[in-house]
Amino acid sequence: MNHPVKIKNALVSVYYKDNLAPLIQLLNKYGVTFYSTGGTEAFIRDLGIGVERVEDLTGYPSILGGRVKTLHPNVFGGILSRRPLAEDKKQIDEYNIPEIDLVIVDLYPFEETVASGASEQDIIEKIDIGGISLIRAAAKNFNDVVIISSKNDYTELEEILAAQEGATTLEQRKSFAKRAFNTSSHYDTAIFNYFNQEEPIEVFKQSEQKAQVLRYGENPHQKGVFFGDLDAMFDKLNGKELSYNNLVDVDAAVAIIDEFQEPTFAILKHTNACGVASRETVKQAWIDALACDPVSAFGGVLITNREVDRETAAEINKLFFEVLIAPSYSEEAIAILTEKKNRIILRRKEVKLPTEQFKTLLNGVILQDKDNTVEGPEQMTTVTKVAPTAAQLEDLYFANKIVKHTKSNTIVFAKNGTLIASGVGQTSRVDALKQAIEKAKAFGFDLVGSSMASDAFFPFPDCVEIAGDNGIAAVLQPGGSIKDKLSIEMADEKGLAMVTTGVRHFKH
């Protein structure tokens, strides 16, 4: 049923007044009576429009420093009364309560106050009580009441009222109610998560207001939506919209590049690094990263932690790629890289990233802390007769950073700050090692003197034996196998240096 309701009385009390004036002026044109408080009341009067004070409606002034203004039966009765119900109508008339047909209320900026680093006292004062109650009451009674809980909805309501001579339909009111409950639930989630930081209750609550519908999901027959604020993370300088798979790869690229302080370039394909190099210049880092596996780099996601200059852009321009990410670009570099319209060029901004990650699994959600640990030379314990050299320790550290961000089971070879090859996502560690050896040989890399990292321990000495037979000089592994002794003995037999870290880096 359409059930049109013409607005007669409106309660307006908002924190943000952007673009509110045209709506108030239109409502005034239709003879609406306004009830308001504080700054909003003054705002309406300044428009030359009459307004009733809520404290006159309730018979009580604003008390407790503004904490209590609207919490009164004369307000909530007017919002919650069921118009078709005779008993409600009788009580409304008995207590002389005006029926409120429109509530325009937003909430104190709780999240913004937390983000500003304000004191706990200031944060607590930004927990809205009256506003959230008004929103919930009006949304509950959408059958008769319009609720506007965001300044983003002012224009839409204005257009509806202009087209329908001051009235709304049931469908429209229900739509606004849905948005209102989204507002209230998001607000409560933010407050709960603020309180749940110390000695947390083990519950899962997440709410993200911004959404971007993607062309499709992982495959064309799957729907895909990104919930988050990409504009806060990147400036998109060129190219088509990011796809689901682009976003997954971009996430992996950001994670791996953040491990490096020195000028570094990484190339990723299907979330795994197929080229990484650290050099004194970003151009040389790009050239050497690409040399690792130029075949897999085709159509990949590229990322660096330094500005891309004209010379580097000219080299990158020779390759077909999907996405390029950098903290900045020279004007000449942008001119070169935007020659092809579909290339996605992103300029990364400084944004604090979450410390936890989650995904749906079975009939629930699984959550964990991000793997923010990577062991450097100080955390490496030599367990063999031969100790790694300083250069080998640096290469083991370099390889360990890449292992951490590569699908298990994985083996990574590194030499002179360059990824030589990796074995990725294999069902056995031996297969991962053999895959890495074959890739290194295919692209002409000499494994003699290189360093090898494994994401988990060696259950048998076979990997160490194969590594020694192929010229590997130093090996990093977490250790912890009941057969560690056999792997160490094999390393000694082959003349390898082996270190253990005590930390596993599975990535499933």
Please give the positions annotated as active site. 140, 270
| Maximum alpha-carbon separation in the chain | 97
318 and 297 in contact (C-beta within 8 Å)? Answer: no
What 8-state DSSP symbol labels residue 505?
A: -
DSSP 352: P
The Cα 344–Cα 237 span in angstroms is 7
Which strands form 301-304's sheet, in the order they lie side by side? 234-238, 344-348, 323-326, 301-304, 264-269, 272-278
Burial of 120 (0-12, 13-18, 19+ CB in 10 A): exposed
Could you tell me if 167 and 26 are in contact, meaning their C-beta atoms sit under 8 angstroms apart?
no
Residues in a beta bridge with 13 = 105
What distance in Å separates the CA atoms of residue 390 and residue 182, rounded to the nearest whole number? 56
Task: Give the Cβ contact number of residue 360 at 10 Å.
Answer: 8
State how far the alpha carbon of 60 is from the alpha carbons of 66, 131, 245, 503, in Å.
Answer: 12, 17, 58, 64
| Per-residue H/E/C for 172-203 | HHHHHHHHHHHHHHHHHHHHHHHHCCCCCCCC
Integer Cα distance of 130 and 101 in angstroms: 18
Sheet containing 33-36: which strands, arranged edge to edge?
A: 52-53, 33-36, 9-13, 102-105, 146-148
Q: Which residues have C-beta within 8 Å of that of residue 227, sequence separation ≥ 6?
A: 208, 210, 211, 212
SS3 for 109-177 is: CHHHHHHCCCCHHHHHHCCCCHHHHHHHHHHHCCCCCEEECCHHHHHHHHHHHHHCCCEECHHHHHHHH
**DSSP tag of 223:** -
